[in-house]
């Protein structure tokens, strides 16, 4: 090592540690204690790779909590509520799943299904408050947006509690059934919702603006709407055993990394939508308001895509969905000047869009590499041109080209925003369309 750089490296390291306050160190101790307890208690049930994942997760959780301090409180609250739920399930030291229907806290708050339903309601409420912030002025606007932001934090908390408790519940059904809840469409939609919302909260804090919440929470609420439909119509909330190909420690790494990509790409698309609204706020020719009409067409097309029979799309659920979609579109069209005035500057929107895509691309790349390694172990080959793999490659190439054009050619403005918004369509097809219209080795989350 170059001796000239060594003192500077040591000083930087010491400066980083010197900025830690007592709560930072207490948080680190709690994470290490919890991780080591889990390791000592469950090590006999884990293979060497899973042990490595758990040990690596401890310093990673500490770093994330130090990097963005609000996550410390989130992780501790989620851990406390999850442990409370597990305690409520215990009867003489033995877990009992039927207690979710008899114990008050489980039935109404802390069982996985209850917590996820609370998440759903809270995301809808947060979206409403963010849009009320758009409608009001001055201190009233700030108050509405602040309430919306706090509700998002609670929604993320309930989503994580639901995820952790569902993990435990799967083992109550049977040791051979137990698995991390990222294995089907229901579980990954929950993952998508809280990951997208958490990344939004980070950008909200970094740029000191809450107006973007009205845009970003639209895609989260749309995902929640699909999740509720999927729960009621398909009964997808029932915990099912894993298919053999998914019984792998690779799933714990590949799927979360993949959905960090999906979530941040969706976030970037909604920021791009806000960018285009801000650009076209003064446009009086309605046929020129193309991003708004495009969103309206997509929203109206959704019921036809997800129907299982020729009559299902006309059912009461999709009628309500269409009514709400029409109301949203009418509100945006009518109030586009007001919305544009409340949104951050073009420069901030452009920067958030770029950083979201950059983060998403990094994690999507990692997920793609991990997926190839998993495929080699499960099927004997790194790549088979399966429809899911092909569309994952298309998504990767799309955002690779976007980043290349930005970094090498200075891509900015309308073209970049349109490209990011169109990317949501490409990503959505890779996420859902492949499961609906194509078949292959990855057909685990059918509709």
Nearest to 191 by CA among 283, 284, 110, 264: 264
CB 253 within 8 A of CB 373: no
Between CA 96 and CA 102 the distance in angstroms is 11
Predicted TM-score (pTM) of this structure: 0.90
CB 259 within 8 A of CB 188: yes
CB neighbour burial string for 250-275, b if at least 16 within 10 angstroms, e if fewer? bbbbbbbbbbbbbbbbbbbbbbbbbb
Give the pair of three-digit tokens for residue 334.
Answer: 């009518």
CB 118 within 8 A of CB 158: yes
Please give the full DSSP string across 247-289, using - where no structure is assigned.
Answer: -STTHHHHHHHHHHHHHHHHHHHHHHHHHHHHHTTT---GGG-
**pLDDT of res. 233:** 75
Between CA 113 and CA 228 the distance in angstroms is 11
Phi and psi for 90 in degrees, rounded to 5?
Answer: -80, 135
Three-state DSSP state, 95: strand
| Long-range CB contact pairs, 327-333, < 8 A, 24+ | 328/218, 328/299, 329/292, 329/295, 329/296, 329/299, 331/131, 332/277, 332/292, 332/295, 333/286, 333/289, 333/292
Nearest to 34 by CA among 67, 94, 68, 79: 79
Between CA 393 and CA 409 the distance in angstroms is 23
**pLDDT of res. 288:** 61
Give the start-to-end residue ranges of the domains of the chain: 243-447
**pLDDT of res. 220:** 95
**pLDDT of res. 11:** 54
DSSP secondary structure letter of residue 211: T
Three-state DSSP state, 19: coil
Q: What is the mean pLDDT of each run of 10 residues along the chain (447 residues)?
A: 53 66 92 91 80 91 94 95 92 75 90 95 96 88 95 98 94 86 91 97 95 93 88 81 83 93 96 89 66 61 52 60 76 84 93 97 96 84 82 95 94 91 89 72 55
β-bridge partners, 91: 94
């Amino acid at each position: 090592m170059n001796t000239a750089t060594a003192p500077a490296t040591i000083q930087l390291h010491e400066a980083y540690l010197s900025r830690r306050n007592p709560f930072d160190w207490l948080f680190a101790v709690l994470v290490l204690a919890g991780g080591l307890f889990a390791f000592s208690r469950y090590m006999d049930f884990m293979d060497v790779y899973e042990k490595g994942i758990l040990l690596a997760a401890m310093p990673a959780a500490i770093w994330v909590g130090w990097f963005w301090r609000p996550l410390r409180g989130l992780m501790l609250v989620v851990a406390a509520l999850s442990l409370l739920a597990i305690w409520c399930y215990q009867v003489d030291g033995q877990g009992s799943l039927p207690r979710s229907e008899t114990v008050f806290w489980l039935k109404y708050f802390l069982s996985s299904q209850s917590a996820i339903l609370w998440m759903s309601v809270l995301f809808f409420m947060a979206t409403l408050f963010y849009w009320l912030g758009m409608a009001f002025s001055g201190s009233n606007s700030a108050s509405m947006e602040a309430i919306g932001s706090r509700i998002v934090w609670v929604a993320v908390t309930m989503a994580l509690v639901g995820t952790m408790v569902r993990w435990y519940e799967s083992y109550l059904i049977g040791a051979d059934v137990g698995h991390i809840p990222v294995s089907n469409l229901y579980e990954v939609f929950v993952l998508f919702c809280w990951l997208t919302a958490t990344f939004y909260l980070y950008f909200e804090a970094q740029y000191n603006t809450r107006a973007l919440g009205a845009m970003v929470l639209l895609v989260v609420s749309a995902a929640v709407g699909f999740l509720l439909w999927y729960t009621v119509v398909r009964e997808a909330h029932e915990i099912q055993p894993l298919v053999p190909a998914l019984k792998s420690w690779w799933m714990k790494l590949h799927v979360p990394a993949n959905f960090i990509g999906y979530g941040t790409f969706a976030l970037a698309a909604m920021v791009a939508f806000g960018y285009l609204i801000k650009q076209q706020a003064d446009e009086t020719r309605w046929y020129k308001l193309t991003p708004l009409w495009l969103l309206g067409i997509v929203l109206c097309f959704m019921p036809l895509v997800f129907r299982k029979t020729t009559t299902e799309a006309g059912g009461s659920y999709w009628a309500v969905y269409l009514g709400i979609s029409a109301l949203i579109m009418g509100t945006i069209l009518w109030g586009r000047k007001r919305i544009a005035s409340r949104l951050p500057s073009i420069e901030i929107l452009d920067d958030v869009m770029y950083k979201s895509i950059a983060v998403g691309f990094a994690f999507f790349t990692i997920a793609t590499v991990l997926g190839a390694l998993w495929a080699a172990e499960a099927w004997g080959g790194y790549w088979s041109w399966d429809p899911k793999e092909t569309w994952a490659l298309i998504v990767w190439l799309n955002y690779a080209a976007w980043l290349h054009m930005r970094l090498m050619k200075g891509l900015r403005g309308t073209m970049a925003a349109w490209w990011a918004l169109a990317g949501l369509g490409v990503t959505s097809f890779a996420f859902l369309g492949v499961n609906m219209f194509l078949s292959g080795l990855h057909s685990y989350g059918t509709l």
